[in-house]
A and B are shown apart, each in its own frame.
Chain A
Amino acid sequence: MLRVEGLRLYYRVSAGPVKAVDGVSFEVRRGQTLALVGESGCGKSSLAHAIMRILPRNVHTYSGHIYFDGTDLMGLSDEELRRGFRWRRLSMVFQGAMNALNPVLTVGRQVAEPLVVHSRMPEREALGRAEEVLGLVGLPPETVHRYPHQLSGGMKQRVVIAMALIMTPELLILDEPTSALDVITQANIINLLKQLKERLRLTYIFITHDLALASELSDMVGVMYAGQIVEIGPAERVYTAPQHPYTLKLISSVPTLRRVARLEFIPGSPPDLLRPPEGCRFNPRCPYTMESCMGQEPPHFNLGSQHTSKCWLHR
């Protein structure tokens, strides 16, 4: 359904280009959920923005291909993308529900905005539709008349999801939809997302830094490091038998309740995306660094059943 090939998004700052997304390729099938996990600052959100083409002013490079049902979105003009795809066929739930709502609009108007903007639907009709969608995400109809500050965090997150759903898209990009919420509310939202997926036959790209959360929802998992996907594969394989050293380290640094073990951590810090390390970008922190890691960037090695890993260890 969505195939991304060699997507690059560099930002221009005074010190040079920041390689936020650097040659990312992956594919999502209809009805599947792809979870993109990684540390803060590894380019997850930039990737989401690159797919939606919501770019800041200081774009340095924006290239690659994004095939949506066979149409290359990169070949469309801004207007064509806006008219035909964005929000109509693929939409996005933004990070941080707390700030994703306009504080001066009522929830109803806010949710209905895309409809009013896109199809010039009369406001009353749009509000009716907003009420419907709010019902879909489990909010009472009178929420329409509330202002964002009157809602709790979980309710706001539901509103943001309703806003993304109002144009009945096929693909939903969820950018850390639960990161600002407490655990119980997180669980509620994840359950809601599961239900919606079943009911509306949605496809998700789920961006998170929370591995446990990703495992709840995902069919496929992509692990991002320094603007690249280092390992991608079916969720059960990536979680049970991680192949890339970074994935390995990442998973073992997550605390669990059932096992008494010293929590591991990854030495060093994420690389500067202005000047990423030569060769494999993980080489300064990797316990298995070899000579080839220093000079040459590893390709994606196919490990079978759609599982690939970007590490010289698999050679």
Chain B
Amino acid sequence: MSAPVGLKYTLKTIFFSKSGLLGTAILIGMLLLSAAAITSVPYDVVKTWNNPEAWQDNPRHAAPEWVTLFTGGNPPRTMVIGPRDFFKVSFFVELASLKFIRLEGNFNYQYDDFPSEWAIILDTVFHDSRPLATIHLVRPDGERVLIFRSVLESNRTRLDVTNRAVRSNVLEWLRGLGVEEPKFVLPEVALFAARSPAMWDPRRATPLQGKYGIEVELVSTGRDDDANASAILFGKVHGLAGTDANRRDLFVGLVWGAPIALAFGLSAAVLISFIQAILGSLSAWYGGKVDEVVQRATDIYLILPFLPILITISIVYRIDIWTLIFVVVALSLLGGITKASRSITLQVMQEQYIEAAISYGASRLRILFLYILPRLLPYIVANIVLAVPSFIFLEAALSILGLGDPIVPTWGKIISDAQEGGAALHGYWWWVLLPSTLILLTASSFAFIGYALDRVVNPRLRER
């Protein structure tokens, strides 16, 4: 049996080896990220992860903002023109008993690409009859484009680029300009394109920079009628990690993925390593029938098809991540560590101090926990460290198969969403690469620490 190793020596070995230091540095980074996630983003945000309403103001499929570091240029960021940015004039004509409301909002568009989308939201209060709304966009080149003219159906109206009336108005305007006959109408492109024959075509058109204005005019009949407007120009870059198809800020999901991945990997690894080691030790120490039962059960566990069983359970019960840990642990109560710790225990059992303990009457359990198991600790710890990445991978793999936790944003879940959203097909690289990188980083940090620990635990590698 190798000499017992102290905690200090272990830590020293880890910190003085390059791989150990690197692994620890990454792990500390991950832990800081987790701490930041837990303290700065309340858990409610995670609950809202699955609520599309909460993400309405984000662009869809936006790349991370730092892509400009590599590609240069000035891609559009999301612009919000709020109700306070609109200048409001309203008056009531007694004679005709008509209320006029005029809202005018200006913004300066200086980006060198078209917005990905835009939306105009009208909040109105009206009493007797529904108001007639007219919306114009005033471009820097003086064009005043009619976007919308209609009677509002409800108190809150959201007009966006998919609105059929908007599209036909824009088409009419383009035809009136005498440009090429458009093959299709993209209001987010045409309205912001410099005047040219090909201004309908996003590939050939160039954006028109300058001061734009949105003019909203409402006519209704109630004296106390009121209205407010706001507008959003969705950008093409967003935040540190971009957004997905549901406009969700991936940064929130990725940051929250860290504590979840660490908690999942660590708790599964710790539980499984300790349970297996204790059972293996118990098996050797009590011997006889106990040994036989535990060892044969281990043999059975070792040939159980782990993944198929796990997949079956996931399909049938639609389990959440904590139940998943439970199932994984239950399927790994016995295994390789049981065998290894049994053999280590058989060796430790022969030591004189165990004999001494028996002779002065220490109970069997006391000897097991106070004398034998501490000798197994270095082995158990090394095993935990090396097992963590495999459980993080397992969670990701199950998520990609669509069998993971349906609610909690995990890294695997994000990759799974990316696959469903056709990220690879459309080139939304951030959606796939960022979570994958985080999984790889976390896994390699544990692997690096594991290599360093190997030098402590594996006597053959110990330097003389």
Choice from B287, B360, B371 contacting A91 with Cβ under 8 Å: B360
Chain A contacts of B3 at CB under 8 A? Answer: 103, 149
Task: List the B side residues contacting A110 at CB < 8 Å.
Answer: 353
> In the complex, A104 Cα to B369 Cα: how many Å?
11
Interface size class of A (residues with CB under 8 A): 20 to 34
User: Chain A's nearest CB lies how many Å from the CB of B222?
Assistant: 84
CB of B363 within 8 A of CB of A94, answer: no
B366 at the interface (CB under 8 A from A): yes
A79 to chain B, nearest CB (A): 9
Residue of A nearest to B371 (CB): A102
- Is A21 part of the binding interface, using a Cβ–Cβ cutoff of 8 Å? no
A-B contact count (CB 8 A): 64
- When C-beta atoms are compared, the residue in chain A nearest to B366 turns out to be A117
B358 at the interface (CB under 8 A from A): yes
Tell me whether A113 and B362 are in contact in the complex, defined as CB-CB below 8 angstroms, given that A99-B353, A105-B370 are known contacts: yes
Residues A100 and B361 in contact, CB atoms below 8 Å apart: no
Interface residue B374 (Cβ < 8 Å from any Cβ of A): yes
Answer whether residue B25 sits at the interface, using C-beta atoms and an 8 A cutoff: no
A154 within 8 A of B: no
For chain A, residues 138 to 172, give those with C-beta under 8 angstroms from any C-beta of chain B: 147, 149, 160, 163, 167
Partner of B359, one of A83, A86, A102: A86
> Which secondary structure dominates where chain B touches chain A?
helix
Chain A proximity of B144: nearest CB distance (Å): 85
The answer to the question of A66 belonging to the interface, with a C-beta cut-off of 8 Å to chain B, is no
Whether A96 and B360, one on each chain, are in contact in the complex, defined by CB atoms closer than 8 angstroms, is no
Contacts of B357 in A (CB 8 A): 102, 113
Contact residue among A104, A113, A118 (Cβ-Cβ distance under 8 Å from B4)? A104
Contacts of A86 in B (CB 8 A): 359-361
Point out the residues of chain A lying under 8 angstroms from B362, CB to CB.
113, 117
Of the candidates B6, B287, B359, B375, which one forms a contact with A87 in the assembled complex, judged by CB atoms under 8 Å apart?
B359
A88 to chain B, nearest CB (A): 9
Q: Is the CB of B371 within 8 A of A87?
A: no
**Assembly CA distance A196 to B175 (angstroms):** 116
* Smallest CB gap from A54: residue in B: B359
Q: Which residues of A contact B353 (CB under 8 A)?
A: 94, 99-102, 110
Q: Mark B1-36, 1 if CB is under 8 A from A, else 0.
A: 001101000000000000000000000000000000
A103–B371 alpha-carbon span in the complex (Å): 9
- How many Å lie between the Cα of A99 and that of B3 in the bound state? 10
CB distance from A314 to the nearest CB of B (A): 38
Q: Is A29 an interface residue (CB 8 A)?
A: no
Residue ID in chain B nearest A115 by CB atoms: B360
Residue A201 is within 8 A (CB to CB) of chain B in the complex: no
User: Is B352 in the interface zone, CB < 8 Å from A?
Assistant: yes
Q: Does A242 touch B at the CB level, under 8 Å?
A: no
A113 touches B375 (CB 8 A): no
In the complex, what's the smallest C-beta–C-beta distance from B79 to chain A, in angstroms? 65
What are the interface flags for B92-132 relative to A under an 8 Å C-beta threshold, 1 for contact and 0 otherwise?
00000000000000000000000000000000000000000
Listed by A's residue number, 16 A-B pairs whose Cβ atoms lie within 8 Å are A57-B287, A57-B288, A83-B361, A87-B361, A91-B359, A92-B356, A99-B351, A99-B353, A100-B352, A100-B356, A101-B353, A103-B375, A117-B366, A147-B6, A149-B3, A167-B360
What are the 8 tightest A-B residue pairs by CB atom distance, in nearest-first order?
A114-B360, A104-B374, A103-B4, A100-B352, A87-B360, A99-B352, A82-B361, A102-B353
